[in-house]
Chain A
């Protein structure tokens, strides 16, 4: 990928994510997050009053980061990344990650992108953004 080949509005490849109990367990073990809303359904629904097991916001943040790192591959590196956990999502949902180019700085070989996690209804649950620096 070269910066001269890119234009504002170009989309980043979308990916579907359907986490399971097992993948949420693995994620929370890997990051040592013991919050019961991610594995204890009785506690989650009866005490914290969620409708179901909550998909971790930072896991969705990772999917957004992957959207960028998979897109840029070995052709550059991520300089800045951010995401915001706007709405809770729940086990059983299928979410879609994606994004598009918002600006291109040829002088510094930097490209800015906006990112999203959408639910099945198309509502953005977690927006994000990133700046990447390309080699060429």
Chain B
């Protein structure tokens, strides 16, 4: 029985966000490859991005005044303001059509595909599941990311 999520929250399910455009640089891939201690030359040279490079690639870029005390953007990204405010990444599913490469001009379209509650060991949890479909400059599919955020 849902107690925290209202009809107003659930109305966000299926709503598509405005497209976000990202141009991928070799230098950004190299930074990511170093930070994640990749070992393959193609990643360390920035010729190709590792699969999880997509994480937060289309995330909001807010000014300092638009951040919450915890460092996250106000409004918890796309979606409604939730009654639980502590947010953590719950997991990711990737369906990969092709690797991301330097110079790619990508378009990402995100929508919330599900919102539900569970009772955790330390209290209620709200799960928000978002789908991000990424296409290239020709409109061809690059990947789909299905990401779950957990609010506690």
Contact = CB atoms under 8 A, between A and B. Distances in A.
A79 interface: yes
Interface in B89-122: 89-96, 99
Nearest to A31: B56
Nearest to A26: B35
Interface residues of B, number: 35
A66 B50 CA distance: 8
Interface residues of A, number: 41
A30 B92 contact: no
A61 B50 contact: no
A25 to B, nearest CB: 9
Contacts of B34: 26
A84 B31 contact: no
13 contacts: A26-B35, A30-B36, A32-B59, A34-B67, A34-B71, A35-B72, A36-B70, A57-B88, A65-B51, A78-B94, A81-B52, A81-B92, A126-B91
3 smallest beta-carbon distances between A and B, as pairs: A26-B35, A84-B91, A34-B71
